[in-house]
Amino acid sequence: MRHRWRTQAGVAAETAASVAEPTTEEATVSGDDQGEEDVGSGGDPEHLIIEDEFLDSAEELREHFDSRFAEPRQIRMDRFVWDYWHVPNQYTLIRTPAEDFFPRTLYESLEDALLSYGENKLGCRSISPVWLSYYVDGCSQELHADNPHGPWAFVLSLTDWERRRFSGGETMILQPHVLDYWRGFEARRGMELEDLVTQVEPDFNRLTVFDPRLPHGVRPVRGTQDPREARLVLHGWFTEPTPFFTGALEEHEAVASLNAALEPLFEEVATFSPSTGTTTVRLTISGSTGAVTDLEWLTDTLIEVPGGDEPGAVRDQVQRTIVRHLGGATFPTSDKGDTYLTMPFVFD
């Protein structure tokens, strides 16, 4: 769920909206009262984002993979690039670095698309090296959490899911309520797999982006031994959450104003009960006034660490504080137009 907040000047960020998710709610604020009743990203944290039809070159990547396996009897040096990765009772799959496997321009089309998605939607400026992995009969990933890897994991499927001849292969992600099991426990209600894990089918060209702190895995694949019929995915992590400017102002022109707003913001947030996760907002900075005219919540995985002084309050406090300090910031003006700042806040 994404909400949007606007200053009184109320200039709609139509250009920003074209690169951002559609918003579901807006709140107009007036004067000094910054509409604080309505400012949050709203609701619960969001741990899963699905983008279908992600990549223009997905078919070409798939064709390249198929061509390398087209003649099983033919010995070519480029066959010998695969790592059979087996950690007993944990990971079994066949993988290779995507950068080495694909022709350069094709790989760059993938990398460019992931990098610009990470910057625009998540505030992450980098990606880990991308793996290309296939899953034949017996392959799976048991539940695990990739905590140090980055705020978001991604899986881009090149699997011909509609025509698959295997079972399993869904990405499974533990549902957040399972990690807080006793709070919502209902003694009379049974639970099965679908109540405990979210399963995401790797449709062809679907980008699944998820919070890798949640225990997750890949359901065991059964039924094919042929790589051309396998579950086939590109996967890795979005990393380096840092501010990202597009539009009129260059980073070096805006960074002093940003830091002036961030300093008191961080001081205030440091007094709150601990929380963990990443919240990313996008600001629209008016070229003519230097004021912030729009603040949009892009992603939000913030979880309150249990045991704090004021249970349930921290997400709200953090969001209000971000809005108050960043919404009130003033940047240099620019006759080149507006500037958009994607700003991730990492709490750990």
Ligand X SMILES: O=C(O)CCC(=O)C(=O)O
CA atoms in the 13 A half-sphere facing the CB of 238: 29
Query: 160 burial class (0-12, 13-18, 19+ CB within 10 angstroms)?
Result: middle
Cα–Cα distance, 119 to 254 (Å, whole number): 17
Backbone angles phi, psi at 321, to 5 degrees: -70, -40
Single out the residue of 256, 334, 244, 262 nearest to residue 298, CA to CA: 244
Q: Which residue's CB atom is positioned nearest to Fe ion?
A: 146
Measured from the CB atom, the residue of 133 and 321 that comes closer to Fe ion is 133
Measured from the CB atom, the residue of 99 and 316 that comes closer to ligand X is 99
Q: Which does 235 bind (CB under 5 to 8 A by kind): Fe ion, ligand X, none?
A: ligand X
User: Smallest distance from the beta carbon of 228 to ligand X, in angstroms?
Assistant: 18
Measured from the CB atom, the residue of 2 and 62 that comes closer to ligand X is 62
Q: Which does 159 bind (CB under 5 to 8 A by kind): Fe ion, ligand X, none?
A: none
Cα–Cα distance, 118 to 51 (Å, whole number): 12
Q: Which residue's CB atom is positioned nearest to ligand X?
A: 171
Cα–Cα distance, 319 to 297 (Å, whole number): 9
User: Smallest distance from the beta carbon of 170 to ligand X, in angstroms?
Assistant: 8
Cα–Cα distance, 299 to 20 (Å, whole number): 10
Measured from the CB atom, the residue of 199 and 259 that comes closer to ligand X is 199
DSSP 263-297: HHHHHHHTTSPPEEEEEEEEEEE-TTT-BEEEEEE
Q: Per CB under 5 A, does 146 bind Fe ion?
A: yes
Measured from the CB atom, the residue of 146 and 268 that comes closer to Fe ion is 146
Cα–Cα distance, 134 to 128 (Å, whole number): 19
Beta bridge partners of residue 198, listed in sequence order: 173
Chain centroid offset of residue 223 CA: 31
Beta bridge partners of residue 291, listed in sequence order: 330
Cα–Cα distance, 196 to 170 (Å, whole number): 14
User: Smallest distance from the beta carbon of 4 to ligand X, in angstroms?
Assistant: 31
Stretch that binds Fe ion, among 119-127, 138-146, 225-233, 244-252 (CB under 5 A): 138-146
Q: Which does 171 bind (CB under 5 to 8 A by kind): ligand X, Fe ion, none?
A: ligand X
Measured from the CB atom, the residue of 152 and 297 that comes closer to ligand X is 152
User: Smallest distance from the beta carbon of 119 to Fe ion, in angstroms?
Assistant: 22
Give contact residues for ligand X (rule: CB under 6 A): 141, 146, 153, 155, 171, 216, 218, 233, 235
User: Smallest distance from the beta carbon of 169 to ligand X, in angstroms?
Assistant: 8
User: Smallest distance from the beta carbon of 93 to ligand X, in angstroms?
Assistant: 8
Measured from the CB atom, the residue of 5 and 204 that comes closer to ligand X is 204
Contacts with Fe ion: how many residues (CB under 5 A)? 1
Cα–Cα distance, 122 to 111 (Å, whole number): 15
User: Smallest distance from the beta carbon of 209 to Fe ion, in angstroms?
Assistant: 12
Contacts of 268 (CB under 8 A, 6+ apart): 321, 325
Where in 281-310 is the site for Fe ion (CB under 5 A)? Answer: none
User: Smallest distance from the beta carbon of 9 to ligand X, in angstroms?
Assistant: 44
Measured from the CB atom, the residue of 155 and 292 that comes closer to ligand X is 155
Stretch that binds Fe ion, among 7-15, 140-148, 154-162, 281-289 (CB under 5 A): 140-148
Interface contacts to Fe ion, rule CB under 5 A: 146
